[in-house]
Amino acid sequence: MLIAKKPTSAGMRHQVSFDRGLTATSPEKSLTSPHKQNSGRNAHGHVTTRHRGGGEKRRYRIIDYKRNKPGVEARVVTIEYDPNRSANIALLYYRDGEKRYILCPDTLAVDSLIVSGPDVEPRVGNSLPMKKIPIGLPIHNLELKSGRGGQIVRSAGTMAMIQSKEGEFVTVKLPSGEVRLIKGECFATIGQVSNLEHKNRKIGKAGRKRHMGWRPSVRGIAQHPGSHPHGGGEGRSGIGMPGPKTPWGKPALGYKTRGKYKYSNKYIIKDRRVK
């Protein structure tokens, strides 16, 4: 449910948040680890991701993407906020006493019982091979290689769908619109990822964005011509070139960076850019 804040200040006037249905305010300490802030820099100290830095201190929540406890039933104890991702996470207590975090699917409630394995029922929260999942059911946390753990369809509100099955492969439509082949023995979790309203939120003020670890971004046309290809000119001027460029002069907005001979190209049936 969307919640519009009262305009008690300029930053609150346009802020829109929502009730995420969380049931806990602090994480399970044994399932967290220190999260070092690298401010967008690599191991050599060079900036590889611009506009990052600062932000609140946070701990990383260890998420179980593999769901590798076949046949062991687990109970959902809490649904929690995770500062490292857009989706909610769910804390599971397994019957053997182990605790694990998973990505929380939409409609999964506290005290629900879920399980993973090759022969489990295809209901929300359960994880099973894609060859056993009925066509048309929403799924998330898809493996691309059996046993590696879920790698795609993990952000808030996303879901994929199995379109057909043929031989050892299943045809899956991804949230981007791409249609690709994935081996049927790869696991996926039933349901749509939680926090569907994430895309409708409004931050409200610049300071809140800084708390999230994002630093300001300056438009290219507002910069000096020595700093950006779009810079310079008298007054407000256009970019002055056939196509937009990055600060380093490379083509932007639509320039393909994917390798021509990437190993997984042969599994793509329909490209996400094709309308």
Return the number of other C-beta atoms located less than 10 Å from residue 107's C-beta.
Answer: 12
Minimal CA–CA distance to 40: which of 217, 250, 203, 206?
A: 217
User: H or E element: which one contains 17?
Assistant: strand 16-18
| Strand, coil or helix: 6 | coil
Among 113-127, 151-165, 247-261, where is mean pLDDT lowest?
247-261
- How high is the pLDDT of residue 253? 84
Distances (CA, A) of 153 to 193, 194, 232: 8, 12, 42
Q: What is the DSSP pairing of strand 32-34 with strand 59-61? A: antiparallel
Q: Looking at domain 2-198+263-270, what is its CATH homologous superfamily?
A: Nucleic acid-binding proteins (2.40.50.140)
CA 91, CA 101: separation in Å to the nearest integer? 5
- How high is the pLDDT of residue 3? 76
Return the number of other C-beta atoms located less than 10 Å from residue 177's C-beta.
Answer: 12
Q: In the chain, pLDDT over 70 holds for what percent of residues? A: 100
State the pLDDT confidence band at 192, using cuts at 50, 70 and 90: very high
Return the number of other C-beta atoms located less than 10 Å from residue 33's C-beta.
Answer: 9
Per-residue pLDDT, averaged over 47-65, amounts to: 95
Among 8-22, 86-100, 191-205, 210-224, where is mean pLDDT lowest?
8-22
CA 114, CA 141: separation in Å to the nearest integer? 15
Instruction: Flag whether pLDDT at 4 surpasses 90.
Output: no
- Extract the tokens encoding 45: 């100290």
Answer whether 0.75 is exceeded by the pTM: yes
Name the CA dihedral angle for 68, 74, 78, 82, rounded to a multiple of 10 degrees.
10
HEC assignment per residue over 139-205: EECECCCCCCCCCECCCCCCCEEEEEEECCEEEEECCCCCEEEEECCCEEEECCECCHHHHHCECCC
- Extract the tokens encoding 19: 């009730």
Per-residue pLDDT, averaged over 245-267, amounts to: 88
- How high is the pLDDT of residue 259? 85
Per-residue pLDDT, averaged over 151-174, amounts to: 96
- How high is the pLDDT of residue 266? 92
